[in-house]
Amino acid sequence: MDKGKALHFLFIKAETKTPSGLVARPVLTAYYKSEQFKKRPYDPYNVLTSPNEAILCPDSFQSMYTQMLCGLIMRHEVLRVGAVFASGLLRAIRFLQLNWAELVHDIETGTLNPKITDPSIKQCMSKILKPDPELANFVTKECSGDNWERIIPRIWPNTKYLEVIVTGAMAQYIPTLDYYSGNLPKPCTMYASSECYFGLNLKPMTEPNEVSYTIMPNMGYFEFLPHDDSSHITLSRDSPPKLVDLADVEIGKSYELIITTYSGLCRYRVGDILQVTGFHNSDPQFKFVRRKNVLLSIDSDKTDESELQKAIENASELLKEFKTSVVEYTSFADTKSIPGHYVIYWELLMKDSSHPPTEEVLNQCCLVMEESLNSVYRQGRVADNSIGPLEIRVVKNGTFEELMDYAISRGASINQYKVPRCVSFTPIMELLDSRVVSVHFSPALPHWTSERRR
């Protein structure tokens, strides 16, 4: 990895200020704008194709355009491709699909697109951008067709692996990443958040669904709140629950992570549920299970993110014969109808547009999802009639990119943006509904029997 460069799509966002005048910004923006990053010493293992000027440009289009342009120019030097989250890398691929012709024009003529107005970018690109008709012809050949399978190794042939986060909520991007990368490795190296750096994956080439992280006890003080799905424990000063120290967790048990950090957070609830998988010497290793919050609920049912993810994976199996996969999704509990029901928005990737999934198959996907949900949900559907048939709304390609653009326009960080797995904000709902191309409902009741014994 010291013989080439990394094509990492990195971004900042403009700072805001609190009412008292304090600067507020995402942690990655703080780092990229720091002297530590801008004047970092040369590290042969961490050379980027993206110039600092592009990374530090607050305009996301200009930043992405410049970073992609540099990545194309230096394509033979690229040894790894990535972003912070898997969704960020897929956004970059989508950007290339939409803007390759303009990028080719810049490469062929050696001139920069007039849409790029940032003075620092223009100055640095004047030293990088030279006319290269041969490269322009190559990019045109690769990007002008409909086949984008293995586009990453086709354009960047020396890529060894993808450097993105694909655990937790990002796991659903794995099939799409495999399609674009030709199944390149996706090592998961670290477990961290804005609040604290938690741990390392000591076996980075492990498959994402088998990854365990070894906690680094020098990064903060770690405590653990025992967790099970039936518990409703809350922390309070009057009657705090008993927390488990790092050294006392037990293999196989699940815990909610509680941290006290050097920067001042005291017994802060991160919101992650972890399961102990083993030990490295005496140091516990954890598997990320899910975020704590429930996503969907109509009546007494409670569906969390991991359960919804599993249901979508099961339903996606029906799409394989049509060479189709779910590239993005979100949901909401529609309580306007009586009874209320779950609505799932799907954006699909069809490798063969001449053979799309039939309406019958998509209706069946609804039923498979319902069969995959918990018994309380199925009881509501079958016995209580408190939940209506699950609905899938298929949206146009690019809809979730528009959703991301909308979130960024409202102040979200492009680096840390994650597609919300449940939505309720009216403008977002209106955007999604305006892009619906087909609607499908579960054609039958899911299986359910009472487990109560008389």
DSSP 308-343: HHHHHHHHHGGGGGGTEEEEEEEEEEE-SSSS-EEE
Average pLDDT of the residues in 258-279: 93
Whether residue 235 has pLDDT greater than 70: no
Please tell me the distance from the alpha carbon of residue 355 to that of residue 114, in angstroms, as a whole number: 40
- 300 and 404 in a single domain? The answer is yes
Contacts of residue 171, defined as CB under 8 A and 6 or more positions apart, other chains included, come to 208, 209, 309
In a domain, 451, yes or no: no
Mean pLDDT of the chain: 89
Whether residue 230 has pLDDT greater than 70: no
In a domain, 322, yes or no: yes
In a domain, 450, yes or no: no
By residue count, the chain amounts to 454
Q: Poorest-confidence range of 1-5, 318-322, 333-337? A: 333-337
Q: What total of structural domains would you count in the chain?
A: 3
Q: What is the pLDDT of residue 451?
A: 45
369: part of which helix (H) or strand (E)? helix 359-372
252 Rama class: left (phi>0) / alpha (psi -120 to 50) / beta: left
Q: What is the pLDDT of residue 90?
A: 87
Strand pairing report for 161-165 and 78-85? parallel
Whether residue 52 has pLDDT greater than 60: yes
- 346 and 372 in a single domain? The answer is yes
- 91 and 223 in a single domain? The answer is no
- 280 and 361 in a single domain? The answer is no
Tens digit of pLDDT for each residue in 215-227? 999 999 999 999 8
In a domain, 448, yes or no: no
Whether residue 13 has pLDDT greater than 80: no
CA 37 to chain CA centroid, nearest Å: 24
Which of 142, 164, 181 corresponds to the end of one domain?
181
Q: What is the pLDDT of residue 117?
A: 96
- 76 and 210 in a single domain? The answer is no
Whether residue 404 has pLDDT greater than 80: yes
Whether residue 153 has pLDDT greater than 60: yes
- 103 and 212 in a single domain? The answer is no
Whether residue 387 has pLDDT greater than 90: no
- 195 and 342 in a single domain? The answer is no
Q: What is the pLDDT of residue 238?
A: 60
Whether residue 239 has pLDDT greater than 70: no
Which domain, by its residues, includes 401? 294-441
- 107 and 149 in a single domain? The answer is yes
Average pLDDT of the residues in 219-238: 72
- 270 and 341 in a single domain? The answer is no
In a domain, 446, yes or no: no
In a domain, 449, yes or no: no
Which of 159, 181, 203 corresponds to the end of one domain?
181
pLDDT confidence band for 454 (50 / 70 / 90): very low
pLDDT confidence band for 175 (50 / 70 / 90): confident
To the nearest whole percent, how much of the chain has pLDDT over 70?
94
Which of 116, 148, 181 corresponds to the end of one domain?
181
Whether residue 99 has pLDDT greater than 90: yes
Q: What is the DSSP letter of 48?
A: B
Please tell me the distance from the alpha carbon of residue 423 to that of residue 296, in angstroms, as a whole number: 10
The most confident of the ranges 170-184, 297-311, 352-366, 409-423 is: 352-366
Q: Poorest-confidence range of 189-198, 283-292, 406-415? A: 406-415
User: Tokens 């903060």 belong to which residue?
Assistant: 220
- 287 and 300 in a single domain? The answer is no
To the nearest whole percent, how much of the chain has pLDDT over 90?
64
Radius of gyration of the chain (CA): 24
Check: CB of residue 12 under 8 Å from CB of residue 53: no
In a domain, 452, yes or no: no
In a domain, 282, yes or no: yes
Whether residue 252 has pLDDT greater than 60: yes
Q: What is the DSSP letter of 195?
A: S
Tens digit of pLDDT for each residue in 327-362? 999 999 887 777 789 999 999 999 888 899 999 999
Q: What is the pLDDT of residue 293?
A: 67
Tens digit of pLDDT for each residue in 116-148? 999 999 999 999 999 999 999 999 999 998 899
Contacts of residue 283, defined as CB under 8 A and 6 or more positions apart, other chains included, come to 214, 215, 217, 246
- 251 and 133 in a single domain? The answer is no
- 333 and 425 in a single domain? The answer is yes
